[in-house]
């Protein structure tokens, strides 16, 4: 399986960190995710897309709406709610005072970037398989004990990963223990610090390797953004390969 679900649905949380909001919106734009828009006091659901982000000027650009009656309501300055779903995550935010603009010779609307969003993981996060041809490295480093283990990723999700270590390390890796000074290297990123918690481990005698399940413990917004980008890249590549296999 290319993707597997892990964990359980999480309660909704309010996202207020600017860098995380920008990352989520960028993911919606790059994945061409449709936006469901409803105006206050109106029952009709309209559709649009994010066409651009102007982070320095705090602007979000969305396409004209379908059906076009939404363009009229937006031009009248009516407030609206935006809902979007990406890989089992429901995102929601509010907008108002949309301004008609022309973006690259096409009509669009400009609205202010949201100051907060509701982020609701409605199902477990997807784990994407990491091919051996992709260069990844993980170093498990304990803050207090003289322990260090190094390996490569087998799979990864927004909330954790599985690593392959050479040799038998079942006794040295105890579930629940945190390796606070760990390091993770993903393609096209600099190596970064991350706090990893051991979830499970299993020794495979035929290959003399230990597979260890790890949870990311409270990564900062910038680290989470790098992880999310890599997961989305793996998902896009997997979908592309699946489509090629159909022909």
Same domain, 135 and 236: yes
Looking at the structure of the chain, the number of domains it has is: 2
Same domain, 171 and 217: yes
**Domain C-terminal end among 103, 123, 143:** 123
Same domain, 93 and 134: no
Same domain, 130 and 118: no
Q: Mean pLDDT in the chain? A: 87
Same domain, 30 and 73: yes
Same domain, 46 and 116: yes
Query: Are 217 and 196 a contacting pair, CB within 8 Å?
Result: yes
**CATH number of 142's domain:** 2.40.10.220
Same domain, 150 and 96: no
**Domain C-terminal end among 82, 103, 123:** 123
Same domain, 86 and 136: no
**Measuring CA to CA, how many Å separate 124 from each of 17, 105, 120?**
23, 41, 11
pLDDT along the chain (247 residues), means of 10: 48 88 90 89 92 94 93 94 83 94 91 94 71 93 90 92 94 90 90 92 90 90 88 81 53
Phi and psi angles of residue 235, each rounded to the nearest 5 degrees, phi first:
-65, -40
**Measuring CA to CA, how many Å separate 232 from each of 26, 125, 204?**
11, 12, 29
Closest CA to 49 of 27, 37, 33: 33
What pLDDT score does 123 carry? Answer: 53
Integer Cα distance of 228 and 234 in angstroms: 10
What is residue 56's three-state secondary structure?
Answer: helix
Domain housing 64: 8-123
Closest CA to 149 of 121, 124, 176, 184: 184
**CATH number of 67's domain:** 2.30.110.10
What pLDDT score does 73 carry? Answer: 95
């Amino acid at each position: 399986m290319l993707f597997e679900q892990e964990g359980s649905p999480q309660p909704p949380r309010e996202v207020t960190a600017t860098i995380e909001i920008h990352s989520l919106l960028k993911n919606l734009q790059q994945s061409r995710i449709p936006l469901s828009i409803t105006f206050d006091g109106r029952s009709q659901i309209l559709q649009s897309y994010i066409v651009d982000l102007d982070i320095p000027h705090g602007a979000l650009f969305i396409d004209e709406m379908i059906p076009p009656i939404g363009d009229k309501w937006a031009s009248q300055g009516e407030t609206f709610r935006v809902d979007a779903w990406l890989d089992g995550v429901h995102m929601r935010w509010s907008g108002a005072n949309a301004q008609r603009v022309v973006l690259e010779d096409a009509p669009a609307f400009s609205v202010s970037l949201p100051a907060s969003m509701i982020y609701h993981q409605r199902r477990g996060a997807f784990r994407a398989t990491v091919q051996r041809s992709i260069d990844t490295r993980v170093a498990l480093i304990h803050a207090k004990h003289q322990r260090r283990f190094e390996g490569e990723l087998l799979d990864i999700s927004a909330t954790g990963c599985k690593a392959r270590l050479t040799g038998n390390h079942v006794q040295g890796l105890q579930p629940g223990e945190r390796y606070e000074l760990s390091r993770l290297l993903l393609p096209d990123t600099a190596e970064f610090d991350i706090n990893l918690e051991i979830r499970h481990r299993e020794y495979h005698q035929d290959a003399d390797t230990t597979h260890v399940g790890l949870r990311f413990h409270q990564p900062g917004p910038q680290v989470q953004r790098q992880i999310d980008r890599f997961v989305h890249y793996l998902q896009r590549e997997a979908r592309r390969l699946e489509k090629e296999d159909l022909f």
